[in-house]
Amino acid sequence: MPQADAGPPPADQIPDVPLLKALGDRRSIRYFDADRRVEPWKIETMLQAARFASCQGNINCTEAILVDKETCEVWDELEECVSGFNVQIINQASHLIIWLTNLNAWYGRAVDGISTVSLAGATTKYHGWNYEFSMTQTIPRLMSFPPERTENLLRFETGQAVAQAMAAGVSLGLGNILIAFGRKPGGVEKAFGLPPHYRFTWGHAVGYPLENPNAGGQRPRLKFERLFHDNAFGTPLQSNPATVEMLREKGLIQEQAPLEGRIEEIVDIAERHGRDPGMLFFPAREIRRLMNDPDWDLGPRIRAYAEHVLQTEDLPDYPDEMRATFQRLMEEHGIDASKFLPDEG
């Protein structure tokens, strides 16, 4: 029976999670408690957070369909579209959010969008805004963008909205993951009968985590200096150890995965659900290469686990039939494939 919407508790009973902590707590959650439904007020909070994300010219191009598998008439069609490794996830999650990008917002809402921010006291003559110039130059120029260019701009904007929704969800104790629907291109658009100027941008599963909400620690990233450039491309922007220390205290930077007990935890979840408890492993050569790659920020836990895997697991060989395809694909992108490929024979 559908639950009655009890509405939110009083605001002062909802714990306040500082933003840096909420951002640090976020993980892609892949194991959801199928027996717990997310309260409508929490979903609405996430969507409200998306609604107030920054958006170009206030055109509001990001929309979403909230999908409840119990009541959505096109659930079976959606399930056929989702990539195979996401099927379990959407079936255990409480809700699915289908994020959409409305390309016509760019063309149809440019005037009203800018008018609203002017009336709101945001855009002013101080910065050179002027009605006649806007109407005869700026807005017609923006509106003459081809849809492909508009699409690039607006999909970025949808990403902004989704990130805010996720952060809000995390702050309310929810788990989130973005999931690909690559199995049936165009299938989601068809299932919902989307008008041609709408793009399905991404799927987003939401629910209460079945796994520990810390998901076994923060997932590794490339080093800060490898990602950010100082005034010139290729000049690394240096991270300050004192800032990193402060961010650890604030919870933005957290202990790297895999935390103690993580592997046992997911093996146990798999066994309880009658699923294969095995992990995805790469060949020994690939693991060693990765551990020696100076670009990655790999801490002691992941290094120790890699060592353990190298010593105890029956690791796969490189699939030789992939060699030529892999080499061609890397060449097409101008990337030297040699470090990724084992010696022939």
Ligand X SMILES: Cc1cc2nc3c(=O)[nH]c(=O)nc-3n(C[C@H](O)[C@H](O)[C@H](O)COP(=O)(O)O)c2cc1C
Write the DSSP string, 217-268.
SBPP-B-HHHH-BSSSTTSBPPPPHHHHHHHHHHTSS-PBSPPTTHHHHHHH
Pair 282, 315: CB distance under 8 Å: yes
Task: Specify whether the CB–CB gap between 188 and 98 falls below 8 A.
Answer: yes
Query: In the bound complex, what is the minimum distance in angstroms from residue 323's beta carbon to ligand X?
Result: 26
- Least Å distance, CB 81 to ligand X, is 12
3-state SS assignment for residue 24: helix
Q: Name the β-bridge partners of 304.
A: none
CA–CA gap between residue 77 and residue 200 (Å, rounded): 15
DSSP assignment of 26-84: --B---B-TT-PPPHHHHHHHHHHHHTS--GGG---EEEEEE-TTT-TTHHHHHHHS-G
206: β partners = 95, 176
CB of 82 to ligand X, least distance (A): 8
CB of 5 to ligand X, least distance (A): 30
Sheet holding 95-102, edge to edge: 62-67, 95-102, 198-207, 175-179
Examine residue 204 and tell whether it contacts ligand X (CB under 6 A).
no
Q: How far is the CB of 143 from ligand X (least distance, A)?
A: 28
Element (H, E) at 328: helix 323-332
In this complex, which beta carbon is closest to ligand X, that of residue 86 or of residue 150? Answer: 86
Q: Judged by CB under 6 A, which of 5, 149, 195, 219 binds ligand X?
A: 219
By beta-carbon proximity to ligand X, the closer residue of 7 and 84 is 84
Contacting residue, 122, 180, 222, 246, with ligand X by CB under 6 A: 180
Q: Is residue 177 near ligand X by the rule CB under 6 A?
A: yes
- Decide if 178 contacts 202 (C-beta within 8 A): yes
* Closer to ligand X by Cβ: residue 108 or 220: 220
CB nearer to ligand X: pick between 26 and 109: 26
Q: Closest distance between ligand X and the C-beta of residue 338, in Å?
A: 26
Q: Which is nearer to ligand X, 67 or 142 (CB)?
A: 67
Alpha carbons 91 and 205: distance in angstroms, whole number: 9
Say if CB 62 and CB 98 are below 8 A apart. no
Task: Output 100 or 142, the one with its CB closest to ligand X.
Answer: 100
**Min. distance of Cβ 195 from ligand X in angstroms?**
23
Whichever of 57 and 175 has its CB closer to ligand X, that residue is 175
**Using CB under 6 A, which residues numbered 75 to 94 contact ligand X?**
83, 86
Interface with ligand X: number of residues (CB under 6 A): 11
101: three-class secondary structure by DSSP: strand
Question: Is residue 212 near ligand X by the rule CB under 6 A?
Answer: no
CB of 130 to ligand X, least distance (A): 39
**Segment 47 to 66, residues that bind ligand X, using CB under 6 A:** none
From 202, 208, 252, 266, residue interacting with ligand X (rule: CB under 6 A): 202
The nearer residue to ligand X, 219 or 303, going by C-beta atoms, is 219
The whole-angstrom separation of Cα 79 and Cα 88 is 10
User: Which residue, 88 or 104, has its beta carbon nearer to ligand X?
Assistant: 88
Stretch in the footprint of ligand X (CB under 6 A) among 17-25, 130-138, 175-183, 309-317: 175-183
Helices 40-51 and 147-171, axial angle in degrees (round to 10):
140
Chain residues 17-46 in contact with ligand X, contact rule CB under 6 A: 27-28, 30
Q: Residue 179 interacts with ligand X (CB under 6 A)?
A: yes
178 near ligand X (CB under 6 A): yes
Token pair 């991270």 in the structure block, residue: 239
CA-to-CA dists, residue 50 to 43, 60, 150, 166, angstroms: 11, 10, 20, 9
Least Å from the CB of residue 29 to ligand X: 8
Residues binding ligand X (CB under 6 A):
27-28, 30, 83, 86, 177-180, 202, 219
